[in-house]
Amino acid sequence: MPTVEAKFVDANVEACGIITNFMDSRTFVALFILEEITQNSFQLWKKVNKRFASSSFNSKARIWSKFQKLTYEDNLKEFITNTRKCLRNIASVSIAIEDEILAFSILKKLPDEFHSLIEKVTQNAKTQGNPNPILNVLHEEALKEKALSIDTIKTLALNKEISPLKIIHYCSNGKHNPLVTTHSPEKCWQLHPELKPDRKNENKEQKANFTIA
């Protein structure tokens, strides 16, 4: 014969089952995936009340207002995270609003630089009027941006490594610079100004008086 304690455990498990049986998938994920899992029916009921029972008009207005105030702050990954959080909150208080309106509202928050991506999303049958697939596409774009940024940094670093600074050596002040290798002292215009060509030909031959190291 089961003990009182065993009966209590069985009743507790049954109560948890009854509570979770009335949850939709979003609510279940919010409680069991995003928060610590509990097998205590009383604690579970308290969590449900704390998170979802406050679905008054005031609560709905506050959550919707927070979504409307959400803006893009030059960080696509952060924008996606904050948007998903707002969508979970909207679902938690059962705000009666169509997914299509949510989808348009999300796209409207993006700056002009995402114009081509927005067109791609609106023309895709899989993302039309559904906020979650739209956020998935934006997430893929964020990953591409990150990869592109890393490649750019690597390319710049490599170019800097293989392209050292070039130093140009000149002859000046009536002296021949021994670092200049394009002409000898005997042909240096600084030592022998009479060798300098006429002005009309100067542009063609002036390269002889300097060198690049």
pLDDT digit string (tens) for 42-84?
A: 777 776 666 655 557 878 888 999 999 999 998 888 999 999 9
pLDDT of residue 21: 72
> Average pLDDT, whole number, for the chain?
75
Distance CA 67, CA 83 (A): 7
Per-residue pLDDT averaged across 94-115, rounded?
A: 90
More confident of the two residues 105 and 47: 105
pLDDT for residue 125 is more than 50: yes
pLDDT of residue 2: 65
pLDDT of residue 175: 85
Q: Which pLDDT band, with edges at 50, 70 and 90, does 143 fall under?
A: confident
Q: Which residue has the tokens 């509570």?
A: 19
**Residue 53 token pair:** 């029972």
pLDDT for residue 195 is more than 70: yes
